[in-house]
Amino acid sequence: MIRGLQEEDIETVLTIWKEENVKAHHFIAASYWYSQIGMMKRALPQSEVYVYLDSKDNIVGFIGLAGEYIAGLFVTHKKQSGGIDKQLLDYVKTQKNQLTLEAYEKNQKAIDFYQREDFVTKEVNVDEETGEKEFVMFWKK
How is the beta sheet containing 48-53 ordered, strand by strand?
A: 2-4, 48-53, 59-66, 69-75, 98-104, 133-140, 120-126
pTM beyond 0.85: the answer is yes
Number of compact structural domains in the chain = 1
We report the CATH number of the domain holding residue 71 as 3.40.630.30
User: So what's the pLDDT on residue 80?
Assistant: 80
Q: What is the pLDDT of residues 86-105, one digit of tens each?
A: 999 999 999 999 999 999 99
User: So what's the pLDDT on residue 77?
Assistant: 86
The yes-or-no verdict on residue 63 having pLDDT over 90 is yes
Contact status, residue 104 vs residue 81, Cβ threshold 8 Å: no
Q: Which domain range does residue 61 map to?
A: 2-140
The yes-or-no verdict on residue 82 having pLDDT over 90 is no
In DSSP terms, 133 is beta-bridged to 126
